[in-house]
Structure 1
């Protein structure tokens, strides 16, 4: 498929496809806002910063699906990479930092909270939030998209287009919450384990960006692939750097009391 045909198929997806993708995010924003109001009636006031983080995450996710960036992403691979960073990395990070599960627990009834807790403790949740599995879904999924015919095919089939974009966001969110714990989790992995997997994920993401630079997805002009790969490489490192900082900060806070206690005993 040449570039003009690629553009034609992308245009055929229509505005309604983007609107369909945006709907879950707008619904989530409405539910989060309602949950904040209900929670504030029972417990102490929900932190404003959490709400702002969630709103920011929704805004970045929606801007990757509709608006100027999304429109340019239809015809320019470099803008497609901007959209990828917003939808698959920055939006999941901000939403994870907003502690949505904690808010949900505060809002639900006692019985509903217990059922949700049992679900979160289940084996399937333990599997998908394992850093290894989350990395395979996230970084591995990107390798499948950009090194196979999937990138070309998703611009020809609406269902595949919807699936890929939802996967990018959900895989990015699972990856984020598997590395940094903002909400309470029943399946905690050690900091060392998460740090090792995170470094491997960084390597996989970086190698993929270099692969795209040298071997663009089918139908993508070389100049766009080069720009897009650099956006993916440097932009991804910036967002991953934030996650790494949070992980290291949490690790430091968790081990500092122990270290101080050992010093006191020695003294």
Structure 2
């Protein structure tokens, strides 16, 4: 028997070309990445154990944090094992959808879960001078490496700079041809997105955070660079990794160049939606922070009987009396 000649897609991906992407396949197409399914399972399990420990000893933990944490990891499982994973090797646009979800949407769900705060409260503190899980966690949070990576300017630079470096260097090709490169891509964009979101709206402790006006200005700058990246891809006259996306032998869907244009539009438009949510969240946190500060001052005034105001008025009266004596 004459061996069957592999198709271009099979030569490149070691898998047959999937059928045309239709609406129903967004829910029914699966190719589970076992690594990230296991990571997500452990992350959810240990988080729920931490919440259970707190509640068992009578401490409260907001339900919305648990919901967002679980939702973030379930979204990661879908991104790495659902329709995006099935089609991202064949459609640049699907690759970009996955990228936007990894670096923006998923961190926007995970960061409010405050896993470090939960762990610090749930893990027992050691009193014998040795280091346990809680002590090592707090050491890592305050380590020099963490101090650098969580700096808002470094986090923003990694977040937006990674876009350009990844897609315009050999890293993009490595992620397509090598499974290790693909896994590195997922981890990298997940971590850089998490660091950036945490620097803006995180509850967990970090060595330094910008004041709220600075956070909004930084976010506006990142939004501009992110939009420019999407436009740059849309203006590309040639294919990125042409020997890959242009050689799949697809007979369905948009042409590779049209699909690449769509991918740039996704990075420019749809990718800005999580950024807008970030801006709104920062603004809300800023407003609540002002409210808390006002209430704190009111409580202080109630406790001291407006002593500060009375002292200030007394100083003004003394100055006025002195001026009157001088003129007299």
Q: Same fold (TM over 0.5)?
A: yes
Is 1:85 matched up with 2:70?
A: no
Q: CA deviation at 1:101?
A: 1.2
C-alpha distance in 2 between matches for 1:149 and 1:5: 22
Higher relative contact order (CA 8 A, sep 6+): 1
Is 1:153 matched up with 2:174?
A: yes
Q: What per-residue deviation string (whole Å, max 9, x for no partner) do you get for residues 91-115 of structure 1?
A: 1110101111111112111134344
Answer yes or no: is the 8 Å Cα contact 1:151–1:217 preserved in 2. Answer: no
Q: CA deviation at 1:7?
A: 6.9
Distance 1:8 1:208, change over 3 A: farther
Bigger radius of gyration, 1 or 2?
2
Answer yes or no: is the 8 Å Cα contact 2:107–2:194 preserved in 1. Answer: yes
Q: Which residue number corresponds to residue 241 of structure 1?
A: 276
Q: How many residue pairs are counted as aligned between the two chains?
A: 260
Deviates more, 1:182-191 or 1:241-250: 182-191
C-alpha distance in 2 between matches for 1:92 and 1:8: 35
Deviates more, 1:178-187 or 1:79-88: 178-187
TM-score by length of 1: 0.87
* Consecutive unaligned residues in structure 1, runs of 5 or more: none
Q: Which residue number corresponds to residue 120 of structure 2?
A: 105
Q: What per-residue deviation string (whole Å, max 9, x for no partner) do you get for residues 46-81 of structure 1?
A: 222111111110111111110122212221111112
| Alignment counterpart, residue 70 of structure 1, candidates 85, 102, 110 | 85
The structure with the greater share of residues assigned to helix is: 1
Q: Which residue number corresponds to residue 170 of structure 1?
A: 191
Deviates more, 1:77-86 or 1:211-220: 211-220
Deviates more, 1:90-99 or 1:78-87: 78-87
| Alignment counterpart, residue 49 of structure 1, candidates 52, 57, 64 | 64
C-alpha distance in 2 between matches for 1:18 and 1:142: 23
C-alpha distance in 2 between matches for 1:138 and 1:5: 34
C-alpha distance in 2 between matches for 1:66 and 1:217: 24
Distance 1:16 1:237, change over 3 A: closer
Q: Which residue number corresponds to residue 264 of structure 2?
A: 229
Q: Segments of 4+ in structure 1 off by > 6 A?
A: 259-262
Answer yes or no: is the 8 Å Cα contact 2:76–2:106 preserved in 1. Answer: yes
C-alpha distance in 1 between matches for 2:37 and 2:85: 12
C-alpha distance in 2 between matches for 1:187 and 1:248: 19
Q: Which residue number corresponds to residue 37 of structure 1?
A: 52
Q: CA deviation at 1:11?
A: 4.3
| Alignment counterpart, residue 130 of structure 1, candidates 148, 151, 158 | 151
